[in-house]
Amino acid sequence: MKFLLFFSLASVALAASYEPTWASITPKRIIQHSNANGAALVKAVQALKPGDKLELAAGTYSVERMWDLLASGTADAPIWIVAAKGAQVIITRSDAEQNVINIGQGGAVRHLCLQGIEITGGSHGLRLGHCSDVWIDQCHIHHTNEVCLSANSADTQRLFLTRNHIHHGAGHAEGMYLGANNGDHIMSESVIALNHIHDCRGDQGDGIEVKQGSWGNLIAENHVHDTNYPCITVYGTAGKPVNIIERNLCYNSGDNVMQVQGEAIVRNNVLINGAGAGFSSTDHQGKTLNLQVIHNTILNSAHAFRGGSWNGREGMVLANNILYSRDANALHYANGNAGVSSSGNVVFGDGPKDGCVKGRGFEDFPNVSLDGSKHDATPAADAKLDHADAQYLLPTDFYGKARTTNVSGAIAP
């Protein structure tokens, strides 16, 4: 799958590269549904055929049964379930005995779009099962009794999770839980982009968690903050194509701000304020290897970068980053860093300095505060950060702006 990767966090229109290929297909039939009743909604969805678009009128639809949505379209005739223009459509249930909406638990679902719908209550808000080419766009999922959005009960392919507002789950409280432990179920070739996820404060509470074995995914331009666990957690791919994690803004984690096991490209992210490290990587359900961490800006009171299992591992690159720690290590390799390709990094704080130049300090980022209340990581005009290694220089920055100098970090001044 080919992605065009550089778009602004302030994007108003969804970048076409984040959409499924069938996004612009004209529906064959538009059905307007005006009965704000949960049972009537389930019946209307069951009757949908490929090419149908169901437009829901404003109202609160309470579904008091286990709802497994099994409507499938085709690549030439997808199915759309959307809020009518300007309508606030809320789907909920009165208890937490079931998820609000399941998609594909009892059979395969393909070429389906759910757009502009508010989902609240229930156990999981939205749970995706045997799904491929399913697009969840501009939905508001919040105040659930467990995970807000999950895809951990079956293998999934080509999910498109875009422009959603997700917050205040409970229980494990992940914003998105994608794939299952130890690769029991995997998500592949999917796009998680332009979502705003926050206040994941339950027993665990990752913002976005992509489990071991999930591969070929793009996690881009998400705004994730105020989480108990890392804002973004990504495991390894078990030898499959790498995941790409780029241009995300993450801050205020009770753990590491971002945690990536391996087999990934991590670039142009801004990471601020974690109780653990700004960025952390270690063995977990697989070994750390083939991990490139390039042109990120990481600002923290504790460790900026922590590589617990980087010693003697294949394909480890740490290049052109800003790594600033106020009270601890800019770089912390608990078990050594033999074989790491380290160059072009600007650091402030303790720790090994090979491949690094010392920065001036946090005055280089006047619009960042370490409590996360200010998070514009544009460097000061007089910051001396032009130390990037040309070998790893990325053509564009966090905002999609062309890099015309060799400044390290996510944002080109």
Dist. CA 360–CA 65, nearest whole Å: 60
Q: How many C-beta atoms surround the C-beta of residue 94 within 10 A?
A: 11
Q: What is the pLDDT of residue 160?
A: 98
3-class secondary structure, 73: coil
- Cβ neighbors of 292 (< 8 A, separation 6 or more) are 264, 265, 266, 267, 315, 317, 319
pLDDT of the chain along its 413 residues, tens only?
Answer: 233 333 333 343 455 589 999 999 999 999 999 999 999 999 999 999 999 999 999 999 999 999 999 999 999 999 999 999 999 999 999 999 999 999 999 999 999 999 999 999 999 999 999 999 999 999 999 999 999 999 999 999 999 999 999 999 999 999 999 999 999 999 999 999 999 999 999 899 999 999 999 999 999 999 999 999 999 999 999 999 999 999 999 999 999 999 999 999 999 999 999 999 999 999 988 899 999 999 999 999 999 999 999 999 999 999 999 999 999 999 999 999 999 999 999 999 987 777 899 999 999 999 999 999 999 999 999 999 999 999 999 999 999 999 989 999 999 98
Q: Cα–Cα distance between 116 and 84 in angstroms, integer?
A: 8
Query: Which residues, in sequence order, are CB contacts of 295 under 8 Å at separation 6+?
Result: 267, 268, 319, 320, 321, 388, 392, 393, 394, 397, 408, 409, 410
Among the listed residues 265, 268, 330, the one whose alpha carbon sits nearest the alpha carbon of residue 299: 330
pTM summary value: 0.95
Determine the pLDDT at residue 355.
80
Q: Token match 């009960």: residue?
A: 153
Q: What is the pLDDT of residue 16?
A: 59
**Angle (nearest 5°) at CA 150 between 147 and 154:** 140
Spatial distance between the Cα atoms of 40 and 194, rounded to a whole number of angstroms: 32
| Ordered structural domains, the chain, with CATH | 26-227 (2.160.20), 253-413 (no CATH)
The pLDDT value given to residue 8 = 39
Three-state SS annotation for 342-401 = EECEEEEEECCCCCEEECCCHHHCCCECCCCCCECCCCCCCCCCCCCCHHHCCCECCCCC
